[in-house]
Amino acid sequence: MGSAHPTLRKSREAGCDYSLWRWGAGTLARMNSASSLHEIPAGMVGMGMIFDETYRPFFERAQAEHVWDRRFGEVAVPLVAVATRTGSRAERYRRSAGDRIYPFHSYTGDDSIRDLVKSGVKVACVATPDNRHFDAAKQVLEAGVHLLIEKPSVLSLAELDELDRLARKHNVLAKVVYHKLLDPDHKRLRTLVADGVLSHVNNGYCSLLEPKSISGGQFAEWITGRNPGTYVAVHYIKLIDFTFGGRLISVTARGQRGLVGPADGPTWDSCQMRLVYRYDSGREAAFDIHTSWVTPDNFPGYVEQEVQFRFDNGVWNGHSRKRGIELTVEGKTPITMKTTINTHYNGAGLEPWGERTQRGYGVEVIERFFREVAMVEFGGPASERAARLAQARGLLYNDLAADRQTVAAVQALEAILADAAVGRADSVVHVNAAEGGLVLYRVGEGKPVVLHEGRV
Ligand SMILES: NC(=O)c1ccc[n+]([C@@H]2O[C@H](COP(=O)([O-])OP(=O)(O)OC[C@H]3O[C@@H](n4cnc5c(N)ncnc54)[C@H](O)[C@@H]3O)[C@@H](O)[C@H]2O)c1
């Protein structure tokens, strides 16, 4: 039996026909008809950095151990199909993973997503570049497949509404990954707010600085016209929105150019945005979020992340890079290894019992989603699926329908920076104004631009 996949091993024990081993819809179900094992065949669109950090460890662990809960039983989550631009990363991964992963089918080129969603997957995860989520996500939902989409979910409210409509029409989940909501520090913050220990947030700042290697190397293929705010400020927009509630009322932003692209072009090195919220009490709060993807590569951590929130009765200071570890290795830190490491997000380690694992909230958030799908599909009688689906949709931390204010802030940021790129700096976006749901006001111009008609 040796090193065979557990799924394969089970099917061998059950005396299955190995001609069925090659992936096809329902293959696993046929292989495991002798047992009560359920399956959620999964697909992956995009196999870049985030796949490697979070999805890969999840799928490998699920391949080895399956997912189990007494309410839905044992569920296999084979990664049966992937879609990428060229297929080269998929093949590299296939070679390096060996039998740690299911022998997935790799689709490439223009029709790759269409082919993936038709291959029998029940769930598809979308981790393509920020501005390529919508097309992929739409195809997933149109095929009646559950969707998990990387942050930022989409770049406009019209896209969000369309995906939500499709998810409802096809009775599937459409969820988005904001793993920072699962960071133990942020969970503690939210608990103190929910319990009233910290009362009324007045203002705060967040900063998230990425190394130059991100804008200059990793994302070079899709960097033109992009900005680090949409890419990473969105983590903190969501944290603020989810933790403190309230209604978003305005967005302003500035940015700098000249390193990633020309000083008068559409590609941004860094940006600073301000969100203003109003609460039921009638009081307001303002939050400044600064981001960059041109920080020197030799800074001590992978990402510099800091927050400060000021309340009526307290101050919360958080630094994701400085929570404990300072590592020095001659000839390695801080270039090929980092000095301050966030092991909470995604730590690869040797467990005390000898096993090598990769754990953290970045992986936990993916597993949590698959548990939600398993609960919908297998957590009770088929006649009660609709109720389970509604319950899963009610989880506001990841449901696409609950991402409205975050997407509104992103759409506003994109519009303000697009204006600035052509010399119209300091436009401001108001939310749920007299003229529409999302309205852009330009300096010196009387007539505003309605970015989104409906209420946010
Ligand atoms: N949660 C996080 O903290 C986090 C961190 C990094 C990235 N992300 C998000 O994940 C997404 C991907 O980022 P990344 O860092 O992995 O990017 P990346 O550039 O490393 O990888 C992108 C992948 O998408 C594929 N791709 C590109 N266009 C495609 C298309 N049209 N069809 C199919 N595949 C296509 C590429 O082949 C590649 O495999 C982005 O939206 C990013 O914001 C999230």
Do 211 and 136 lie in one domain? The reply is no
Site to probe by mutation for ligand 1, drawn from 55, 56, 82, 84 as the one with most ligand atoms within 8 Å of Cβ, is: 84
- DSSP letter string over 127-191? -S-GGGHHHHHHHHHHTT-EEEEESS--SSHHHHHHHHHHHHHTT--EEEE-GGGGSHHHHHHHH
Q: Do 316 and 282 share a structural domain?
A: yes
Closest ligand 1 atom to Cα of 214: 15
228 falls within a domain: yes
Residues lining ligand 1, CB < 6 A?
Answer: 45-51, 83-85, 89, 112-113, 127-130, 132, 150-151, 177, 179, 218-219, 231
**Structure confidence at residue 32 (pLDDT):** 46
pLDDT in tens, 51-76: 999 999 999 999 999 999 999 999 99
- Report, in this order, helix, strand and coil percent for the chain, each rounded to 5: 40, 25, 35
**The domain that contains 440 carries what CATH number?**
3.30.360.10
Instruction: Give the pLDDT score at 159.
Output: 98
Task: Answer whether 0.95 is exceeded by the pTM.
Answer: no
Give DSSP secondary structure letters for 313-375. S-EEEEESS-SS-----TTTTTTTS-SB--HHHHEEEE-TTS-EEEESHHHHHHHHHHHHHHH
Both 19 and 87 in a single domain? Answer: yes
Which domain does 29 fall in, by range? Answer: 6-180+355-400
> Is residue 348 domain-resident?
no
Number of the ligand 1 atom closest to the C-alpha atom of 52: 16
Task: Give the nearest ligand 1 atom to 222 CA.
Answer: 19
- Residue of 207, 446, 3, 20 whose CA lies nearest to 11: 20
Domain count, the chain: 2
Q: Is residue 347 one of the residues assigned to a domain?
A: no
Domain-ending residue, one of 384, 400, 416: 400
Same domain, 229 and 114: no
Q: Whose CA is nearest to atom 7 of ligand 1?
A: 50
Residues 6+ apart with CB under 8 A from 385: 171, 376, 377
For residue 132, give the ligand 1 atom closest to its CA: 31
Task: Say if CB 284 and CB 324 are below 8 A apart.
Answer: no
Q: What are the pLDDT digits (tens) for 84-93?
A: 999 999 999 9
Residue 71 CA to ligand 1 center (angstroms) comes to 34
Which CATH number covers residue 153? 3.40.50.720
Please report the pLDDT score of residue 180 as a whole number: 96
Per the domain annotation, does 194 fall within a domain?
yes
Going from the Cα of 47 to the center of ligand 1, the distance in angstroms, rounded, reads: 7
269 residue type, one letter: D
Which of 276, 277, 275, 303 lies closest to 291, judged by CA? 303
Among the listed residues 305, 196, 181, the one whose alpha carbon sits nearest the alpha carbon of residue 238 = 181
Asked whether residue 116 falls in the same domain as residue 216, the answer is: no
Shared-domain flag, residues 440 and 325: yes
Establish if 254 belongs to a structural domain: yes
Domain identity same for 139 and 40: yes
- 91 within 8 A of 104, measured Cβ to Cβ: no
Judgement on whether residues 168 and 202 belong to the same structural domain of the protein: no
Residue spans of the chain under pLDDT 50: 1-27, 29-34
Contact indicator for 238, 151 with CB cutoff of 8 Å: yes
Q: Which of 47, 48, 346, 365 is nearest to 175 (CA)?
A: 365
Ligand 1 center to 75 CA (angstroms): 27
> Terminal CA-to-CA distance of the chain, rounded, Å?
56
> Do residue 304 and residue 432 come from a single domain?
yes
Position 283 in a domain: yes
The ligand 1 atom nearest the CA atom of 90 = 39
Tell the residue nearest (CA) to atom 18 of ligand 1: 48
Is-contact 257 425, C-beta < 8 A?
A: no
- Nearest protein Cα to ligand 1, atom 2: 50
Task: Indicate if 162 and 41 belong to the same structural domain.
Answer: yes
Predicted confidence at residue 35, as pLDDT, reads: 55
For residues 176 and 262, membership in a common domain is answered with no
Where among 364, 380, 400 does a domain terminate? 400
User: Which residue from 88, 132, 150 has its CB within 8 A of the most atoms of ligand 1, so it is best to mutate?
Assistant: 150
Tell whether 428 and 438 lie within a shared domain. yes
Give the phi and the psi of residue 428 in degrees, each rounded to 5. -130, 145
On whether residue 349 sits in a domain, the answer given is no
